[in-house]
Structure 1
Amino acid sequence: MSDQDSWPMYGPDPANTGSVESAGPKRGIEETWQFSGEEVIATSPTLKDETVYVGEVGEFRDDQSHVYAVDATDGSEKWRYESAENGAPSLAVTDEYTIVAESRESYDNDDSGCITALDRSTGAIHWQFEVDDVVYAAPTVVDGTVFVGSHDNNLYAIDCETGEETWRFRTNSDVATTPAVSQGTVFIGSGRKDGHVYAVDAETGREQWRFKTGEYDDFNSMDEGGVFNAIAVSDGVVYAGAHDERLYALDAESGDERWNFKAEGGIDSSPALDDGTLFFSTWEDNIYAVDAIDGSVRWKVDVPTSQGARPVVADETLYIGAGILRAFDPETGEELWNDKSFRGEARPAIVDGTMYIGSGHLTAFEDP
């Protein structure tokens, strides 16, 4: 759980727990401001020092996109960065820099990507690091190092100050998971034709262990499987959802399986972890609450269009943007409220009672 008064990365903490102590809206939502970019804002916002940072995705492959810094109090634009690429996932912010993972999807399949560090105050480019394919995973920044995966099958460690490569670790498929970093180890998942969870030494890039998903007999072998969501880590346990319809709990030191939970539908949703319970959604439009110790189900609710949406827990309320925005009691699964003024799938960022959502526009909501 993060106890910060900011939301500096997708996680929003390096371990990707998806849980914060800060309270969010309790009775519903009321819009306080809305910011519109040049293209479609479709990333989870990050926030630091009363500034919201968000990226956008071009509607067509030859569109350019932007990264925006927006005043968290009134929604006014502070600066914008015009990207040569046509899309960016969630950003990461440090005291000095905004870290952007950019992607260019071309019509001739000559896709590319780069990691860009922008001055957090001005939006000026500090450095850029090119990779050989698109980057759909958000970066994680820990102790001066940017960790990010790419569809070129690599996990990269990049010096946050210089932009120089520290090391790279190669898997056998695309890396579309936001890295989790805990106790000196980086945890990622790999995509189709590989389907492993990897543990990599954060300092050296050496593999510590790997775990293969999709090995159970009830897995449909016509689906190539894989891990495509952010992995969560807590108390020496790694939690990873996979396309084989299982949520795995793995020992963080050895990679040994502690338990697995068989869900209905593949899991693209990154799990949120709060007070001993894991929350995640599946392709079959279910949201589950599962005990983090033994994998037993605590509750399950059907939520239309939830699929890959990631729940967020803030001060004893579970939020999920899936078609419409919904709030649940994390203890019981009871729906507390929903709001149809929000449309789309988006993961909110919550700081000091305000919820920020990037879905078409960047919008700030508070209690009505």
Structure 2
Amino acid sequence: MVKESRRREILSVLGAVGASALAGCGTPSDGETNSQDSGTAGPWPMYSVDAANVGSLPDQSGPRENITTQWSFRTNDEVYSSPAVADGTVYVGSSDKTVYAIDAESGTETWAFDTDGVVYSSPAVVGGTVYVGCHDTKLYAIDAESGEQEWVFSEPGNNLWTPAVANGTVYVGSWDNNLYAVDSESGEQEWLFETGGVIQASPAVADGTVYVGSDDDTVYALDAESGTEQWTLQTGGFVQSAPAVVDGTVYVGSHDDTVYAIDAESGEEQWRYEMLGSLNSSPAVADGRVYLGNIDGFVYAVDAATGEEQWKYRTDGYVSTPAVVGDTVYAGSRDNSVYGLDAESGEVLWTFETGSRVESSPAVADGTVYVGSDDQSVYALTEE
């Protein structure tokens, strides 16, 4: 079992490294985020934008042509972590066991926080605090300005993944098969829910419900306050994709090579779309489309209401969770590149080559794409 879990961890690093993570308690309509916490500060404060993991900012814009490197920041090991951007600072983890705060404009280090394990997790920045899971079995709360530890929640022997933060609670999955709800102020456990398998992706939180996938091939819906099970849906493979929740529908991928659309209230399947490989990454949803990066090397766009394919674009490697900003889709690939694609047609607008595989998911803020690479660097990409 240990060897199998480690194999699945390696498979999951690209998109489920989040594995996920918020204004209002309802699911967002196009152009709205679902932060569910007035303390959220920033255009991309956590994995896939918010606690509902929508992965999109339709009313914003990002670079579409003449791409240049605004800056690159060097860590001491691979950067799988997906950056978060808040209050003019980029927060990101590294396999060098460190969480970094980087000035978004200049690329200079603001602070560095040392842990005892690799940091695959994407940080979540809410209310002046950075929350991040780590492979030293700990969930950290770090002061966003100073880099000082506020508290630590630990589950010995069990790695913790990307958290989602909503309404004063941090939700985080673990290798011990449990989803934990932790008070964001004190770090005290509020409840735990045991699934039948390892949780290796960020949960999604919307309308008072937490949605999470597990290696027992199941998607769970839990009451956000109590942890009580609301419904489950069985897929044909283990679920390391972070769910995205938009307009009353849960979109999630599975290792049965399928993405599912599920009614958020009842748990009934609405449609499914089959691809050519397992889906670890999280869907991004914008303007009536679901965008997917897959192990088969394709970026897909499918109709959010019907699941019908709109277009697909092939890269030469495993594709990370996409980010959709305005009329552009951004995604990283294990072919060492970051892509900008037209959201309507799938036409490639630009590519940017790094020194190694791009397993980090892009974050986009103020016209700049921030993304990590296995070449040990974080890049800020913008138009000339």
TM-score range for the pair, normalised by the shorter chain length: 0.7 to 0.9
- Residue 340 in structure 1 maps to residue 314 in structure 2: yes
Q: Which residue of 2 aligns with 1:245?
A: 217
Q: In structure 1, what is the equivalent of residue 112 of structure 2?
A: 128
TM-score (norm 2): 0.74
**Any residues of structure 2 matched to 1:239-278 within 5 Å, and which?**
239-278=211-250
Change (3 A) 1:264 1:143: same
Matched residue, 1:353: 327
Q: Supply the distance in 2 between the matched residues of 1:196 and 1:7 (Cα, whole angstroms).
A: 27
> How far apart in 1 are the matches of 2:117 and 2:64?
33
Q: TM-score, normalised by structure 1?
A: 0.78
Rg: which structure is higher?
Answer: 1
Q: Sort the Cα spacing of 1:157 and 1:73 in 2 relative to 1 into closer, same or farther, 3 A.
A: farther
Q: What is the rounded CA distance, in whole Å, between the counterparts of 2:212 and 2:54 in structure 1?
A: 13
Q: Tell me which of 132, 136, 148 is aligned to 2:132.
A: 148
Aligned counterpart in structure 1 of residue 172 of structure 2, from 155, 163, 188:
188
Aligned to 2:32: 3
Deviates further, 170-179 or 276-285: 170-179
Do the aligned residues in 1 keep the contact of 2:45 with 2:125 (CA within 8 Å)? no
The SS at the match of 1:345 is: coil
Q: How many aligned positions are there?
A: 303
Structure 2: 5+ residue stretches without partners: 1-27, 34-41, 348-384
> Does structure 1 conserve the Cα–Cα contact (< 8 Å) formed by 2:319 and 2:331?
no
The alignment status of 1:159 with 2:143, answered yes or no, reads: yes
2:292 corresponds, among 301, 320, 323, to: 320
Q: Identity of aligned pairs, percent?
A: 38
Structure 2 counterpart of 1:170, from 136, 151, 154: 154
Shift of 1:310: 1.7
Query: In 2, Cα distance between the equivalents of 1:302 and 1:364?
Result: 24
Q: Which of 260, 264, 278 is equivalent to 1:306?
A: 278
The structure where strand makes up a greater share of residues is 1
Where relative contact order (Cα < 8 A, 6+ residues apart) is larger, the structure is 2
2: CA distance between counterparts of 1:255 and 1:99? 29
Q: For each residue in 1:103-136, what CA deviation from the matched residue of structure 2 results, as whole angstroms up to 9, or x when unmatched? A: 13xxxxxxxx011111111111111110001111
State which of 258, 279, 304 in structure 2 corresponds to 1:330: 304
Q: CA deviation at 1:172?
A: 4.0
SS in 1 for 2:32: coil
Deviation at 1:17, TM superposition (A): 2.6
1:85 to 51, 67, 77: 77
- Divergent runs of 4+, >3 A: 4-9, 172-176
Q: Distance in 2 between matches of 1:21 and 1:80?
A: 24
Q: Is 1:205–2:234 an aligned residue pair?
A: no
Distance in 2, matches of 1:122 and 1:22, equals: 26
User: 1: CA distance between counterparts of 2:115 and 2:64?
Assistant: 32
Match of 2:252, SS state, is strand
Distance in 1 of aligned mates of 2:275 and 2:243: 16
Matches within 5 A, 1:27-66: none
Q: Deviations over 1:193-219 (max 9, x none)?
A: x110000001110100000111xxxxx
Q: Measure how far apart 1:312 and its partner are.
A: 1.1
Secondary structure at the aligned position of 2:319 is classed as strand
Tell me if 1:297 matches 2:297.
no
